Amino acid sequence: MGIHLTSFQGSVETAIRESIQKLIPDAKVEVTGGGGHWSIVVVSSVFEGKRPLEKQRLVYQSIAHLMTGDQAPVHAVDSLRTLTP
């Protein structure tokens, strides 16, 4: 995993977690990684009855602003798990 340069200030983990919880308020979010590459686990009742692609789209929609631009703090989501409680 290489270094991904960014002008983002602050904790990327916190930004990812808060962005997901803004769209999915009951979400329990675990974020690990670094260097622009992240693994995310999201547990929420909102995923109940949704297909895997629908769940993933919800999460990606919530962090899209962190993945936009040449110096985005989130270069890649290497692993995304979406679970129901």
Segment 58-76, tens digit of pLDDT: 999 999 999 998 888 898 9
Number of domains in the chain: 1
Q: Mean pLDDT, to the nearest integer, of 24-49?
A: 96
Q: Is residue 34 part of a domain?
A: yes
How far apart CA 11 and CA 18 sit, in angstroms, is 11
Model-level pTM greater than 0.85? yes
Q: Is residue 4 part of a domain?
A: no
Q: Is residue 47 part of a domain?
A: yes
Lowest mean pLDDT among 18-27, 62-71, 76-85: 62-71
The answer to whether residues 71 and 36 touch, using CB atoms and an 8 Å cutoff, is no
Q: Is residue 6 part of a domain?
A: no
Q: Is residue 61 part of a domain?
A: yes
Give CA separation, 22 vs 1, 19, 42, 68, in Å. 29, 5, 13, 18
Q: Is residue 53 part of a domain?
A: yes
Q: Apex CA 41: angle with CA 12 and CA 23, to 5°?
A: 70
- Cα maximum dimension of the chain: 39
Task: Quote the pLDDT of residue 72.
Answer: 87
Host domain of residue 52: 12-83
Task: Quote the pLDDT of residue 5.
Answer: 47
Q: What percent of the chain has pLDDT over 90?
A: 75
Q: Is residue 2 part of a domain?
A: no
Return the DSSP state at 69: S
